[in-house]
A and B are shown apart, each in its own frame.
Chain A
């Protein structure tokens, strides 16, 4: 049985087979099991875990987007949370001011973020590397400034209330109901990302990452490719932000700070740069870590709520920092590489690589 292993003994006879996604019965079975688990999940676990699953799903969408930009295309962005914020505000405004239903408001959030992404990406042809990272950082702070001070549109620091979406008269106001919105979107976005790198555009991203001038010599239009990367990554971020708006029922600048951007960068490093699986693993890991820390810190600090909240903030920074540095030094390809090694070992067992 080779449920999760790499493709072994697959000999495609024609191009259709070679391009197939589900190239073996085991693979189909594995995917069916995963799908079944995702559907059964909210029925069997506690409310708290459904809540965490929703949070993780939204994180996955956003982090997959960041990985497309930073991991696959090699354009370092330290302002990804700003695009979450733009998506969230656009979605909330579309829903509240124009009465758009959620199936228009959420894509509207994604498109607004994509447009902003193209704007921020425009200088990327001239500036790159560190300077581009600094430019995205500046964009992050300018977004926060606008969100805080353009009160007539964004509601300032108080934020923006979001009315729950409704489908055929059913209000999506509980975590359980929202799960059925967030989970399918997450799955869809991940599948799209995985497929993207089987296309010409996706391959061009990777070529640009490896050496942008060489890619240009090969006939890749640099500006267009970089802008496409920015647009797609920001679209993902915007969709995630729009989901957050519906999920947390409020949009305010505090959710989309520099810290949130760093959180997402940490996730792609922990998960694995340039890997969709890595983004998913990194997102799940990074959502789980603060929760585990909460348990550890409250055991350590005892009953004092205020003290443990303060300790938690510091402990989280410390652990995130250690994770970044530790993974960069000891496992630069992240959790995805660990999984790949485990798979290889499992497939070849009892032989060794």
Chain B
């Protein structure tokens, strides 16, 4: 029983990280209706920018983090302007494949610039384990959980209370009506992409500080698909639920079925959920007109 609780806590803590990784996908999907397969690569890019500013330029990590955020904002907005806006109104296949192509471009470019070797980021999070009652949780898992929840919470609040957040929700729910009330929809889309890239970059830095950094860091983002499907692609709060569920399930499969099942479990969950509830547990069902 103690073992069960301990594994549960570790799994839930890891789920926080999943929630943060999934947040970037949800922001873009909610804001612009595009599923961004390049989100993982944007994460990876953010981590490399952080590494460069922090280690090669030798600046303090807080400056490096700010530089990463600014760079990611610009990169996200640029991607929206250069690629996605040109593909507006195109079939789903084109848009999805454009993001896949973008991911490949980023991965290849980073590989050529920074090389394939493993890099280690300075440990940003305290490594000392945290005790909850008598249960021990690894320090970086615990603190990344706390930070993730804070970031997701901040995004939720931002959507709820700020002008640009409300504008973003308006543009997401109906572009035409958003235009009609004077919202600059293209700017809002660019902002959404920039924000998602910044959140992704932040997640990438955290992730790279826990694991190591290679150009393949972005591949990890695919395992977040399960979080998105469980939580619903357009639900910010669903990200937390999905992240915790998947983190817990993964920890449980690792503990009771064996390590090799950990990697495939998210995909089994994806298929199961899609079969039972095609739009995810919390996602909104799309109504289609003929």
Residues of chain A whose beta carbon lies under 8 Å from any beta carbon of chain B = 70, 74, 76, 123, 126-127, 129-131, 133-135, 137-139, 141-142, 145, 149, 211, 213-214, 217, 258, 262, 265-266, 269, 273, 310-311, 313-325, 328-329, 332
- B107 near A130: Cβ-Cβ < 8 Å: no
B106 nearest CB across to chain A (Å): 8
Smallest distance from the beta carbon of B84 to chain A beta carbons, Å?
10
| Contact in complex: B96, A328 (CB < 8 Å) | no
Kindly state the separation between the CA atoms of A147 and B194 in the bound complex, as whole angstroms.
Answer: 39
Contacts of A322 in B (CB 8 A): 101, 105
B116/A324 in contact, CB under 8 A: no
- Judge whether B290 is part of the interface by a CB distance below 8 angstroms: yes
Which residues of B (78-117) have their CB < 8 Å from a CB of A?
83, 86-87, 90-94, 96-98, 100-112, 115-116
Contact A325 to B105, CB < 8 A, known contacts A138-B225, A313-B116: yes
Q: Closest A-chain residue to B29, C-beta based?
A: A130
Give the most central of B97, B225, B271: most A CB within 10 Å. B97
With A138-B225, A142-B267, A329-B86 as known contacts, state yes or no: A131 contacts B274, CB within 8 Å. Answer: yes
Task: Give, as a whole number of angstroms, the nearest-CB distance from B273 to chain A.
Answer: 10
CA distance A127 to B279 in the complex (A): 8
New contact pairs (10) apart from A141-B267, A142-B271, CB-CB < 8 Å: A133-B96, A134-B274, A265-B97, A314-B108, A317-B105, A317-B107, A317-B108, A321-B108, A324-B104, A329-B87
Does the CB pair A317–B111 fall under 8 Å?
yes
B243 to chain A, nearest CB (A): 17
Contact A135 B290 (CB under 8 A): no
> For the complex, is B2 an interface residue (Cβ under 8 Å from A)?
no
A residues near B96, Cβ cutoff 8 Å: 76, 130, 133
Residue-wise, chain B 228-253 has the 8 Å CB interface mask toward A (1 for contact) of: 01000100000000000000000000
Chain B residues near A (Cβ < 8 Å):
35, 83, 86-87, 90-94, 96-98, 100-112, 115-116, 215, 222, 225, 229, 233, 260, 263-264, 267-268, 270-271, 274-275, 278-279, 288, 290
Q: Which of chain B's residues have a CB closer than 8 A to the CB of A266? A: 101
How many residue-residue contacts, CB under 8 A, span A and B?
Answer: 135
| Pair B101/A137 contact, Cβ less than 8 Å | no
- Given A138-B225, A149-B260, A328-B98, residue A317 in contact with residue B116 (CB < 8 A): no
Q: Is the CB of B225 within 8 A of A137?
A: yes
What residue in chain B is nearest A211 (Cβ atoms)? Answer: B290
B278 touches A131 (CB 8 A): yes
Which chain B positions have C-beta within 8 A of A133?
Answer: 96
Distance of A296 from chain B, by nearest CB (Å): 13
A149 to chain B, nearest CB (A): 6
Question: B279: which A residues are within 8 A, CB to CB?
Answer: 131
Q: Are B112 and A74 in contact (CB under 8 A)?
A: no
Known contacts being A76-B96, A310-B116, A328-B87, is A142 close to B105, with CB within 8 Å?
no
B69 to chain A, nearest CB (A): 25
Could you tell me the distance in whole angstroms from the C-beta of B78 to the nearest C-beta in chain A?
A: 13
- Structural contact, A141 and B264, CB atoms closer than 8 A: yes
